Structure 1
Amino acid sequence: MPVPGSASPPLPRSTAGLAGALRGRLGSVRFLMTASGLAFILVVNTLIGYGILQGRREALDAGERATRDLARMLESQTLRTAFAVDQLLRDLSFALDTLPDGPRRGSTAIHDHLRQRRDNFAELADLVVVDGDGLALHHSAELPLPTVPLSDRAYFTGPRDGGQDLHVSAAITSRVRPGTQIIPFSRRWLDTDGGFRGVLVAMVDPTRLAATLESRDIDRKGSVILALGDGTILLERPQGHSGTQGGSDGGNHGEPGRLTDWPAVWTALATHDEATIRDAAPGPGGSTDSLVSVRRVQGYPFVIVATLPVAAALAEWRRDTAAWTSIGTVMTIAIALLTAFVVRQHARRDEDQARLARASRRIRGILDSMLDAVVTFDTAGRIVTFNRAAEMMFAVPEREMIGQPIEALIPDARGGANDRDLTALRHDGHAFPVGFTVSDLRLGGGTGAMRPDEPRIHVGVIRDMTRRKQQEAELIASKTQAELANRAKSEFLANMSHELRTPLNAIIGFAEVLDSEFFGTVNERQKSCITDIHDSGRHLLDIVNAVLDMSKLEAGQFELCEEAVEVHEAVAQCLMMVRDRAASGGVAIHNEVTAAIATLWVDRRAFKQVILNLLSNAVKFTPGGGSITITAGMEQDRGFALIVADTGIGIPPDFMADLFQPFRQAENAANRRYEGTGLGLSISKNFVDLHGGTLTCRSTPGAGTTMTVRLPAGRVIEQPSKIGSHAPVPAA
């Protein structure tokens, strides 16, 4: 034995190991989850079992109340009938004492009176007046008065020997209505001196007395018995349910049954005026476990017994028990499955956490090897990792940033789209531009859509944009300088064009004077030189005018001088300028705008310049033998369209994108075949754009070109009838 006060001996190694394993098992989350599920199942089933037991007690209590209510209902019916019969017999005694024919046997008046009273009382089968010798004096039946003495009847001897109270006898077979049972209610008939004069008898029909009970479907729930105080059964519903001998009505004409044959009921009546017991009730099919309510009717010699089978009282409870048992079974299975699912999910979570830890270590190695600052953060924006490049960029160690919001580094990190230029803050408060790109790090692997249960980590890549911003600023400055230089070039060209037009106009004017021989005759050689001077000056002036117009358009200084212009007149004037050149080149011009087409609100010079440029290009690029067609008309949207179509060489597809750019020509070689500055189409398009219209081209190399000018309906101020003109021009 260990000595008191000494140290306890150490546990054996196997016992210590078992204790440690047990502590580990009890501390396991899976064990706690499983135990919680089993405890929950136990609690649920305990509550359901308690509810079932409580429901059984309540069902039995309800059954006891039902039997008591059934007994009270029969008691109420019996009291009402007994009181009414007693009052009827009292009234009849007074009437017999008052009427002169009361003592006279077989009086018609008394017979009619008795019949009337019988008919007014539903439960009565007959009323009989018996004299002191036991002979019938009057009755309410339609048959002759019986001559047989009634002195041996209990309903006669009882009142004669028992006193003034209402006397009720056992059920007997009716002589007036053969084959039926009646319950006699009788009362003494006294003369004025108090002497015995006879008996007044009311024959009550038990079937009518039980009508109220039968209307309540007594036989479907239980049974009721009406008996006398000595146990003689007067009424039983359903008939023969108690299993006692005899009965009150029906086909049994033997001795009436008695409650004394039911010991438990008779014992309860012997000690209590009202009681509810549980006993095996006798019946035609054997004894039945039943709830029994017994009562003595106060003031009258009646005993009432009501029974209800326990099976009937518990029928609804059994149905509820089956339902609750099913519910308990389903809940047990559901809780067991849920517990198994939670335990399995917990195991999966442990596995996921282990994989996440491995992935975290792998990602950490990758992050530390990157040159850009990389910050990982969760869905709440809290920083999870902070690589070495980020420590150097923001001048702060990682341990101080873990758990901090990403906004501590980049205030606008959560606003707007991804891959943006933002402003970051170093630890010392210095702001600098950065590029910020965010992507999702998939810890679960795979390339499909992310699962809802998959851990989400965001990876932010931060790049210092200070150097790039400096380069952008330098580039913007260079662009600004280039734009200023281009504007200066445009202004220089505009100024030089103005300066060149003055001497050119003088040269052209003097050439025209010399050609007119105003200062004297000139020879053919001189005239040829004068013509060359005039043509060269005119060509140079056209170039200068084109450059001047282009400079104004680029500088936004060209102002429209709008007026009403007749389309056919403008077209005719432009055709006069190119007709000779077309004729010398063998190109046919077809003018289909020979009548009033429309009046337009446009700048006359600009509108004519557009038409002239299109016609000049068509003549220039159409070989001999080709043709040019000019048409105009109204479109479906009430706008205006003018089309110049030729059968020339066409435009290469790769040049269509640069067609309307200034100083651009399809042939840029020094030995190109066609002269020009490349400004005509650019100027024309700008003029059309200033009018709110469009200039489009459709060309096929080797087949020809179609140029279409469209002006909006707001430029059309008049639409005369088209007599002599063609139909509206379809869209090109």
Structure 2
Amino acid sequence: MGAFGVALILGLNALVGYDLLHQREETLARAREDSAAMALVLEQHATDSLSGVAKILAGVVEVLAVRADAWERGDADVFALLRRQATLSPLIRAILVVSADGKLIHDTQTLEPAGIDLSDRDYLMAHRDRLVPGGANAVFVGNPVRGRTSNTWFISMSRRLEAPDGRFAGVLVAVMEPMAFRSFYQTLPLSGDAVVTLYHADGPVIARFPDHDSHIGLSAHHLPLFTTLLKQARAGTELLDSAGDGPRRILSYRASAEMPLAVTVSSSRDAVLVPWWSKAMTLAVADLAGTLVLAAMTLALLCEAGRRERAMADLQDSERALRDSQQRLIQDIAARHRIEAELIAAKQVSDAANRAKTQFLANMSHELRTPLNAVIGFAEALESGIFGQMSAKQTEYVGDIRKSGQHLLSLINDILDTTKIESGKYVLHQEDLPVDDLIGECLRQMGPLAVEKGVTLTAALPGSLPILHADARAVRQILLNLLSNAVKFTPPGGRIVVEADRVARSLRLRVSDTGIGIPAIELDQVMEPFHQVDNSHTRRYAGTGLGLPLVKSLVELQDGRFVLSSVLGRGTTATVLFPPSRLRNRSEPLRALKRAQPAPV
């Protein structure tokens, strides 16, 4: 009986040991498979990202080849073209055009390119000396370098530009942001110590997570990836010691067949085996408990049958506890899935509420304008004396009713226009507009308010301004909102100037005042709907906070740009820029608005 008990104990330990070893190998195998799959996904992501940039460059090269102004330094049309193309990929920080002698011709980050010499850059020398495999239409991907003016890391992708006779004319360069890869890697469901690294085929690190900043640009030519692995196969998974990432790591690597890139995903084998160790400890404890139980049972058989029954009861209790633990784990997983589903449903409800809010505001604005127009109309009729003469106090009160109604109607119109723009239902009715006449009309409309406030309102217009092709109501609303803000926030004795001129082939409208100004930290916030500067100087001014956001939306809806600058206590300048595509020469016939003689204000 004793020999049978010893044999049973040895058999149990051997079975537990075999099962642990088998599970250990399965854990490592799954880790290798997951690492290889992740490397495949990341390599495809990097290849597709760079391929997308290459396609953008190919299209720009074709356009520049047929444009006569492609080599006019800082040309606004070429600048606009390059900026539009730069927005097509989140990787692109800037697009440059560099001449054959290394001079910067175009830079999407500034209309006036810096006067720097780029003749020593690798992309210029590679295309100039025809070192890029694949001929003139091939792209060159450079190693990570620091920008000379920005002092930040970037990688470049370039294409050769040729003159009509085939001579080397320069390069088109896409300056790409390595942090875009690092930010993408940060979103991946990686294990605790997993390391993702994107290498250039020449060896330098392009992006890494974690520790991106301390590794970017470092050469990895001495690592086994470049000395051995990539020479043996384009992809694979190995178990090796890494001086950079720590000992005993599972490394999956994959090189791109289309771009000079390689991706690695590595995890510490010890970290991979943490769940296995936890289970091994549990099984070891269970095995020890079983051994003790078997020993106790053996002794009980030798001593008395009662001790065997108690030992069996202890074993059954242990099994029940293990089942309870498993059930709790299943319940925890189900609860987590339920919470995720509730979060998704809450987001859908929030989106629906936002859409309902926009529709509600639009409907209410329409419904409120009808009775409000009636109130204003009756107030104007009473004020004009059509229903009989009123006393001075009655006339004053009726005037207050009319002014308040007009103010409320202006606020409702702003809300309605804002909701139309948000919902994409704002329709532009474009026509040819004489800018000086439109400015004169707005000045005449705001003149009485400026006189009542004690503010000087003047205009500085050149002798000849171009015709603007735009929506007359929208442009008039832009000017009136800017003038209304200027009058509102300019104290008595202040001055407001309206200017219009040509700058960089664009039309610039500018409204400057000597009002209370806006703090620098608030300039971005006043562009948000329903926001006003919150300090002791501005709380006394009424308004919804929709004026500047509405101006910005209306300007951008007509391909323009709105810029706001201010100095606290000294005044504010609002600038509206309309692109050359919306301007017409004075010699062309007007297609809509009739010219009128402006009256002095």
Instruction: Please identify the structure whose Cα radius of gyration is greater.
Output: 1
Identify the TM-score tier after normalising by the shorter chain: 0.3 to 0.5
Q: TM-score, normalised by structure 1?
A: 0.39
TM-score, normalised to structure 2's length? Answer: 0.47
- The answer to which structure, 1 or 2, has the higher relative contact order (CA under 8 A, 6+ apart) is 2
